[in-house]
Amino acid sequence: MDKSKRILVTGAAGFMGSHLVDGLIEQGCLEVYGVDDLSGGYESNINPKSKFTQLDLREKNKTRDYINEVKPKIVFHLAADATEGRSQFTPISCTERNYFAYLYVLVPAIKNGLEKMILTSSMSVYGSQTPPFDETMPTAPDDIYGVSKAAMEKATKILSDVHKFKYVIMRPHNVYGPGQNLSDPYRNVVGIFINCLLNNKNFYIYGDGAQKRAFSYIDDFTPYIIKAAILPEVEGEIFNIGPTKEYTINELADIVLKEFFPDGNVPSHLAPKYLPMRPLEVLNAWCTADKAKKILGYQTSVDLAEGIKKMVAWAKKLGPQKFRYLDDLEIVTDETPSTWVEKLM
């Protein structure tokens, strides 16, 4: 990648976006621009060597004017409402923050000479097909968030076919690590478990905790999204990124608790409590990463116990965070998890 090229990272104050900005600057990229509306990200995540603008990408005209001015050649799009489990209760804002905001960036970027889009999608596009998911499977999302990500992917391909910009699609899953928003009660199971314990409260597990996931430490994601932007042979490709070893949520809970209580004596008030499964939650979801291993040289370097150790050390320094609930759920019914309606955490 030509390091003098103008790069834009959306979601630059967010967890993965801020690590990406740091990585690009460390690699010597000279013109790294970032935007974020700070709805889920933090000012403290913003790299001072980047050129940051606070902007809500749902504001179509402001976004167009911004892109007209910056004229980025490479865009890493990470801005999103990534609260997958909540999206059934906020279908409009999820679609606005994901699909619409993406088009509000992409369309003016194409008109201003975009060379390459690196879109961060999600494993949610596979829905409830049988894992491990591989990139040849069709997209079959089962929830509103997954629908928005699948639509963003499809729009990228269609507009690239017609307007001839290059693109790569990354599908990470369950990324965790320092810099993550601990105050979000709707997503990031690792962060929620840690923040509950920091607040001296138990955490909640939806269902019986036997559902399986694979978890990616942030340092095992950032180098590969950068590589995806650099390697010419990956144009138009889709990559799953993430470890293939899966854990049940109960196993994850044990690992987090062990980090706080190494002797195994968990105070009774901090034992996890179980709640009904959230509607449409996919039971088992993990991917193969064979393609990323072969083409991007992907490998897992931080296993879950080690990653949790690092994240807990960071979180303890940060201290307990108050959970920030969203007051405008668009649909509240008996199906809405009590953790959100009753603000249990």
Active-site residue, 145 included: yes
What whole-number distance in Å separates Cα of residue 157 and Cα of residue 169?
Answer: 10
Closest approach, Cβ 151 to ligand NAD, in A, equals 13
> Is position 326 an interface residue for ligand NAD (rule: CB under 6 A)?
no
> Is position 37 an interface residue for ligand NAD (rule: CB under 6 A)?
yes
Pairing of strands 212-213, 247-248: antiparallel
Query: What's phi and psi for 171, nearest 5 deg?
Result: -120, 85
- 133: which DSSP letter? B
Handedness of CA 54, 116, 295, 123 (dihedral sign): positive
> Is position 222 an interface residue for ligand NAD (rule: CB under 6 A)?
no
**Which residue in 148, 1, 8 sits closest to 77, CA to CA?**
8
Asked whether the beta carbons of 116 and 7 are under 8 A apart, the reply is: no
Please list every residue from 227 through 266 that binds ligand NAD, using CB under 6 A: none
- In the beta sheet, which residues pair with residue 35? 10, 53
> Is position 75 an interface residue for ligand NAD (rule: CB under 6 A)?
no
> Is position 128 an interface residue for ligand NAD (rule: CB under 6 A)?
no
> Is position 6 an interface residue for ligand NAD (rule: CB under 6 A)?
no
Q: Which stretch binds ligand NAD (CB under 6 A): 53-61, 252-260, 294-302, 334-342?
A: 53-61
Asked whether the beta carbons of 254 and 274 are under 8 A apart, the reply is: no
H helix or E strand, kind and range, residue 273: strand 273-275
> Is position 307 an interface residue for ligand NAD (rule: CB under 6 A)?
no
- Which of 6, 86, 116, 173 touches ligand NAD (CB under 6 A)? 173
> Is position 29 an interface residue for ligand NAD (rule: CB under 6 A)?
no
> Is position 213 an interface residue for ligand NAD (rule: CB under 6 A)?
no
Q: Which stretch binds ligand NAD (CB under 6 A): 24-32, 74-82, 264-272, 291-299?
A: 74-82
Active-site entry in 102, 126, 145, 298: 145
- Which of 8, 67, 70, 101 touches ligand NAD (CB under 6 A)? 101
Q: How many residues does the chain have?
A: 345
> Is position 211 an interface residue for ligand NAD (rule: CB under 6 A)?
no
Query: What's phi and psi for 186, nearest 5 deg?
Result: -105, -15
Residue 284 three-state SS: strand
Chain residues binding ligand NAD by CB under 6 A are 11, 13-17, 35-41, 56-58, 78-82, 97, 101, 120, 122, 172-175, 181
